[in-house]
Amino acid sequence: MKKWILFGVVLCLGVAAVPGFAVEKAVAAEAGYAYLVSAQGLDPQNGSGVLVNLYYGYEVGDNPRSSTLLSLTLGYALFPDAVGSAALHAVVYGLEYAHTFFRGKPVALIVDYGLLFNLLMEEGREGYAFGHHTRLGLGPVFRLTERSSLALQATYNFVAFPHFEQASDRISFPAVLLRYQFRF
């Protein structure tokens, strides 16, 4: 057993020592507005909410016409009146896969898929719920400089979570987001 552990450590150190090629990275911040269209298990008085997200990504596909970015995502969502008159807070984290078409043009097209998780808190209740969050997005990307861009996206979000005593609560909502991205 000790030989296998030693072999694994040596292999990891050897792979880490191999010089790699430069991978383009990107950071982004976005903010937007969302509206609950479906809320199974909740009783929203008002479905409006706000979203903010941060991204740190690696370019995994690159050619002159398109690019593919795999990003780590961290965000926050607030629906002030999602649970009767109480707020629903969500810390959102996970991965996003974004594909940009027509990359060399002044206006490109972004299509993305997010596989995310939520840590949800309902005001007035003790504890948290853990949820699975899928996000699909589409929208134009406006190139500001060679390295920076601004995207206006329409997304649709599905969140499923065992919410405290409930077996399967769900919410779904469209959102409009404005994202600033910088590649380095």
Identify which has the larger pLDDT, 42 or 167.
42
The reply to whether 1 falls in a domain is: no
Say what the pLDDT of residue 15 is: 47
What are the percentages of helix, strand and coil residues in the chain, rounded to 5? 10, 70, 25
Q: Is the pLDDT of residue 44 over 90?
A: no
Say what the pLDDT of residue 130 is: 85
DSSP string across 22-58: ---EEEEEEEEEEE-SEEET--BS--EEEEEEEEEEE
pLDDT, averaged across the chain: 86
The reply to whether 69 falls in a domain is: yes
For 2, residues 6+ apart whose C-beta sits below 8 A from its C-beta are none
Question: For the stretch 50-72, what's the b/e string if a residue is b when 16 or more beta carbons lie within 10 angstroms of its beta carbon?
Answer: ebebebebebeeeeeeebbbebe
How many domains does the chain contain in total?
A: 1
Residue at 157: amino acid letter: N
Q: Where residue 168 sits, what CATH number does that domain have?
A: 2.40.160.20
The reply to whether 80 falls in a domain is: yes
The reply to whether 7 falls in a domain is: no
Q: Report whether 55 contacts 72 (CB < 8 A).
A: yes
Which residues share a beta bridge with 48?
A: 35
Torsion-angle region of residue 119: left (phi > 0), alpha (psi -120 to 50) or beta? beta
The reply to whether 16 falls in a domain is: no
- pTM of the complete model: 0.82
Instruction: Find how far residue 108's CA is from the centre of its chain.
Output: 20
Mean pLDDT of 128-133: 86
Say what the pLDDT of residue 115 is: 95
User: Which of 96, 122, 116 lies closest to 39, judged by CA?
Assistant: 122
The reply to whether 3 falls in a domain is: no
Domain range holding 158? 24-183
Mean pLDDT of 71-95: 90
pLDDT, tens digit, for every residue of 156-176? 999 988 765 666 778 899 999
The reply to whether 15 falls in a domain is: no
Q: Using CA atoms, how far apart are residues 90 and 178, in angstroms rounded to an integer?
A: 19
